[in-house]
Structure 1
Amino acid sequence: MNSSASPSIPPSSKARFANASAGLKNLHQLIQLRWIAVVGQLLTIEATHYSLGMPLPLQEMLTIVGCMALFNLASLVRWRSGRSVHDVEIFLALLVDVAALTAQLYLSGGISNPFVFLYLLQIAVSAMLLRAGYMWFIVLVASSCVVLLAQHSQPLPLATNLHEGWASPYVLGLLVCFMLNAILVVVFITRISHNLRRRDARLAAVRQRAAEEEHIVRMGLLASGAAHELGTPLATMAVILGDWRRIPALAADPVLQEEIAEMQTQVQRCKAIVSGILLSAGETRGEDSSQTTVCKFLDTLVSDWRATRSIDTFVYDNRIQNDSPMVADTTLQQMVFNVLDNARDASPDWVALLAQRDDDALRIVVTDRGPGFSPEVLAQIGTPYQSTKGRPGGGLGLFLSMNVARTLGGSLVARNRPEGGAEVTITMALANIALQDGIQGTHGH
């Protein structure tokens, strides 16, 4: 088998998922950065107040640290919810961080505090995470805070004494601030950049998928037009071949009769393919629809497939106990043929078809003893051009069969069997193919 089929995720949904995933990861990075800020502020307050003996308004500064911790816990709950994170949330979170840093600097010397340069970290993070408008607003707010701190702050008895080198507490504070900025910028900006690159890669894949699906739509339109054009000549050929079989001169020649019968079989097969193309494009010809039963339809389908395909061993197991009337046409037949053909391509020596009834649904299971689906194909379930055959255009058989199954309100799923080989299961609601007062449920003509 060359593909698996099940409902695929629309490109727009994938794009939203890519943005949501990147937003959640970036929010998580901010949460980690804020925890580092909380611990760093506690250590700095301890070192300044107790080790260096500089008096600080401990109650106010510890209250700010506590508020940051509570805000971070709320942010953690928000992150665990898994809902998408918008730019405005990141923007407000950064504003809270800027406000907390400003309050701490106000209580500890304003711009004379060497840790005033931590504003640059907030600006760098905003440049990575936010759109230009939000980013420049953060720059404006941070710059305004620095200007205000130059005029308004509680004094800190910390002499600059730059000439003292390592012996100056101010110089030590500057070095710590520089190293802290450098390390955090490298670590967190690298992580954020990685998240953004992964988001961009996902969005690029979504755009590529959308382009491929647009190509499929164009191909479907062309195929639909060609199918409409082929319908009339195929019908004409079917009539002519029928007339030929009744001409006495031709009827007396058994070789010609055999060739005419084979031509009629191939014409009917072409008509079935045309009907399948039209239904996959959202149309149906409704040709060769007939009243039958589920078991008769399956028996005829298996007989026709065996007659036109060569295979070493084909196992047909019909476990339907309660037969029911239905209306069958070539579209239903072609849907199953596509699955059987893929199974035979993967496993030319053995293919099996199991049919059974599960409550009000018909389930057809096709298995083979081939190599099974590759992990790459299973990871792209329901997408066209996912094939193990390695030829251009491969992978469309089950993709079209999936569309037919969807039209009938059913499904088509695939998996690898533990004992080897692959398995494709077609499920259809019997109500959608049942005969109801002489009219087919949802698949009439």
Structure 2
Amino acid sequence: MTTQHAVSLAANIERLLSVRALLLTALLLTTLAVHYGFELPLPLAPLLVVIAALALLTVGSWWRVRRRPQRLREGELLWQLVVDVAGLTALLYFSGGWTNPLVSLYLVPIAVAVIMLDRGRTWIIMAMTVAGYSLLVLYHRPVVAVEHHHLDSFTLHVAGMWLTFVLAAGLITYFGTSMVNLLRAREQALAAEREENLRNEQIIGVATLAAGTAHELSTPLGSIAVIASELADQSEGAQREQLDMLLAQVATCRDTLGRLRMTASGEQSAPPLPVDELFEELGARLALYRPRSRLQLSCNGSGAAPEIRPEPTLQQALLNLLDNAAAASEQPVECRVHWHGDALEIDILDQGPGFQARGGGSGAMGEGMGMGLLLANATIERFGGTVSLRQREGGGVHVAIRLPLHALQASA
């Protein structure tokens, strides 16, 4: 049995136990009201013994479900309903049998079985209720006659029928609505899972393409580096500066491809790094990508900067978000890093045109923001974090990233 299935089974049993607890409470109050309120002598001792036994069994089952849900088996729901039918039969036996208007409560376990059990087990419960009802016709302890009571037997019977209807309708409604809510929650979970699988398929496709691209670009980048180096040696002045910038950009590309190959091969040799140093490195890499951009970095928090594992995919995700902010804004980009407790908060703020000026979507922060945001969000969610985007007053976008430090320090 999978963990998800065990959790679902435990939730169903808890709902069943809640129905039983409500039913036992109603039966106890009814028994006391009839015996003391209407002054009809009932065999209180056996009735209270049966109710107490069912209550103890309910408490024990609840404890077992809460403490040891992994030990639950498929037949648990069936046995719980068998207990309900047997307990109701015992209560009816001591209180008039089939003449007791509460005999219609047999419909409650049938309704629950229809909702929760398969066809075979539902027929077992149905057969048990029919057998219990039939036995009560032949064997039961009659209630003492009430000829001299201020209420005649027909009035009491009608009142009992009304009470039975109220109890059955309330319990079936409670259980039915609970199951509907559970089914809706399952549908939402399945829809979210399908969405995640679709997104993962897109990411796998991008990763496959990236791996092939890294292999194909190695040779052209090497050739560009050699030719640019030779030209730089023969040049002076502004042309030399431009070629030096080109060589720096080529070196950045080769470094990026090297990290991509390292990640694909599973190599994780980078030592732990303080958070502030990591963002200083990301700022330096951003300056190579966009020499004209300016990053205003501030790092602070409670205590010294925590050390985290500089996982390549996380670095790339953060760099993508910084790069998109720099591409959208000619003004300096602010990056505020704050740590406290187990939380790492990263806020990236640009002064660009924002969402509306670029089409209104969250993927319009900058060039290539759609795929960049998709990959960054998927990576950050893999570490248990979240990414949210908000329009800034006066223009620009605020990207808020929240990450749990323990996930980033797992292998640090």
Task: Using structure 2 for the length normalisation, give the TM-score.
Answer: 0.69
Q: What is the Cα deviation at residue 253 of structure 1?
A: 7.2
- 1:230 maps to which residue? 213
Percent pairwise identity: 20
Structure 1 residues 140-197: Cα deviation after superposition (integer angstroms, max 9, x where no partner): 111111222222223445599xxxxx9751x334423432333233322222222212
Q: What is the Cα deviation at residue 124 of structure 1?
A: 2.4
- 2:27 maps to which residue? 37
Q: What is the Cα deviation at residue 57 of structure 1?
A: 3.5
* Distance change (3 Å), C-alpha of 1:242 and 1:308: closer
- 2:15 maps to which residue? 25
Of the candidates 93, 100, 107, which is equivalent to residue 120 of structure 1? 107
Paired residue type of 1:302? G
**Superposition pairs for residues 402-421 of structure 1, below 5 Å?**
none
Contact 1:110/1:116 (8 A) holds in 2: yes
Distance 1:108 1:128 in 2: 29
Distance 1:77 1:256 in 2: 79
* Distance change (3 Å), C-alpha of 1:65 and 1:108: same
Contact 1:275/1:285 (8 A) holds in 2: no
- 2:118 maps to which residue? 131
Distance 1:24 1:103 in 2: 23
Q: What is the Cα deviation at residue 305 of structure 1?
A: 1.3
- 2:47 maps to which residue? 61
Distance 1:57 1:180 in 2: 20
Q: What is the Cα deviation at residue 313 of structure 1?
A: 5.1
Distance 1:187 1:178 in 2: 14
Distance 1:291 1:153 in 2: 79
- 1:376 maps to which residue? none
Structure 1 residues 64-105: Cα deviation after superposition (integer angstroms, max 9, x where no partner): 333334444445545665847766444333323322322233
Q: Which has the higher contact order (CA 8 A, sep 6+)?
A: 1
Contact 1:127/1:135 (8 A) holds in 2: yes
* 1:314 paired to 2:301: no
* 1:340 paired to 2:322: yes
- 1:367 maps to which residue? 347
- 2:394 maps to which residue? none
3-state DSSP of counterpart to 2:31: helix
3-state DSSP of counterpart to 2:334: strand
- 1:439 maps to which residue? none
Q: What is the Cα deviation at residue 341 of structure 1?
A: 4.1
Contact 1:41/1:65 (8 A) holds in 2: no
Q: What is the Cα deviation at residue 118 of structure 1?
A: 2.4
Q: What is the Cα deviation at residue 47 of structure 1?
A: 5.4
Distance 1:332 1:110 in 2: 70
- 2:355 maps to which residue? none
Of the candidates 223, 234, 246, which is equivalent to residue 240 of structure 1? 223
Of the candidates 121, 136, 141, which is equivalent to residue 128 of structure 2? 141
Paired residue type of 2:17? L
* Distance change (3 Å), C-alpha of 1:141 and 1:355: closer
3-state DSSP of counterpart to 1:108: coil
Structure 1 residues 184-212: Cα deviation after superposition (integer angstroms, max 9, x where no partner): 33322222222212222222233223323
3-state DSSP of counterpart to 1:154: coil
- 1:378 maps to which residue? none
* Distance change (3 Å), C-alpha of 1:269 and 1:30: farther
Q: What is the Cα deviation at residue 268 of structure 1?
A: 4.8
Contact 1:34/1:72 (8 A) holds in 2: no
Q: What is the Cα deviation at residue 116 of structure 1?
A: 2.4
Structure 1 residues 397-427: Cα deviation after superposition (integer angstroms, max 9, x where no partner): 1432565xx6xxxx867799xxx98454585
Task: Using structure 1 for the length normalisation, give the TM-score.
Answer: 0.65
Q: What is the Cα deviation at residue 123 of structure 1?
A: 2.1
Distance 1:290 1:91 in 2: 55
Distance 2:131 2:345 in 1: 70
Contact 1:22/1:195 (8 A) holds in 2: no
Q: What is the Cα deviation at residue 129 of structure 1?
A: 3.4
Structure 1 residues 108-151: Cα deviation after superposition (integer angstroms, max 9, x where no partner): 33323333222223322332333333322111111111222222
- Structure 2: unaligned runs, 5 residues or longer: 352-360, 390-397
- 2:354 maps to which residue? none
3-state DSSP of counterpart to 1:252: coil
Q: What is the Cα deviation at residue 14 of structure 1?
A: 5.5
* 1:305 paired to 2:303: no
Structure 1 residues 316-350: Cα deviation after superposition (integer angstroms, max 9, x where no partner): 5599999x9xx999767535413534776899754
Distance 1:232 1:402 in 2: 28
Distance 2:25 2:248 in 1: 75
Distance 2:30 2:227 in 1: 95
